[in-house]
Amino acid sequence: MNTFNRVISILDRSLMKIEELILSFAIIVISVMVIGNVLSRTFTGASWAFNEEISRFALFLATFIGISYVARKGRHISMSAFFDLAPHKIRKALAIIIPLVTAIVLFVLAYYAYGYMASVRDSGRVTAALRFPYYWMLIAVPLGFVLGGIQFLRNAWINIKEKDVYLATDKKDYDRTDGAI
């Protein structure tokens, strides 16, 4: 059991590193593409025809691979007024139910995202400038939903296992000991 936990923990750390790398790299690639294109257009008169496709690909990657990373950090935008004001017991229940249901929805979306990707693949559509199969642009979508779903399952699990309320595996609920509410 101990070895199992350690393996999971190593996998988890590596996955997080990969997600961080992808997010960071995507933003840098977008910057390089857009800046490079404008400099090239200004100084040589020629645009980078591939800049739009590569930038868009990087944005898709950041958006969907980011789902699980943002979930890990508890940073998805939500309206937490009711959650924040609720008594501890209800908060605890919500902290389990919300990520659980969220995970299910994300898995369903992963299924449809795969379906969409498959239909684009079958249509034979290619990108306009670099002419690579368009469905490559979509690979991040089902993958991102699956990874996001897994992370939300873990957010539910930590609330089942631990006594305190966790907003995410990496984020405990705000400290309420200052008697604010």
Q: Does 57 bind other proteins (CB under 8 A)?
A: no
Give CA–CA dist 89/109, Å, rounded: 31
- Continuous segment of H or E residues that includes residue 20: helix 2-44
Of the CA atoms within 13 Å of residue 180, those in its CB half-sphere come to 7
Binding residue for other proteins, selected from 4, 5, 81, 161, defined by CB under 8 A? 81
According to CB under 8 A, which residues from 86 to 125 bind other proteins? Answer: 94, 97-98, 101-102, 105, 108-109, 112-113, 115-116, 119-120, 123-125
User: Is residue 47 a contact point for other proteins (CB under 8 A)?
Assistant: yes
> What letter represents residue 86's amino acid?
A
Q: Is 65 in contact with 15 (CB distance < 8 Å)? A: no
Q: Binding pattern to other proteins, positions 143-172, x when CB under 8 A?
A: ------------------------------
CB of 135 to other proteins, least distance (A): 11
Nearer to other proteins by C-beta: 8 or 123? 123
Query: Per rule CB under 8 A, is residue 76 in the interface with other proteins?
Result: yes
For residues 20 and 11, give the distance between their C-alpha atoms in angstroms, rounded to a whole number.
14
Q: Closest separation between CB of residue 13 and other proteins, Å? A: 16
Q: Quick check: helix, strand or coil at residue 172?
A: strand
Distance CA 89, CA 115 (A): 40
Choose between 76 and 157: whose C-beta lies nearer to other proteins.
76
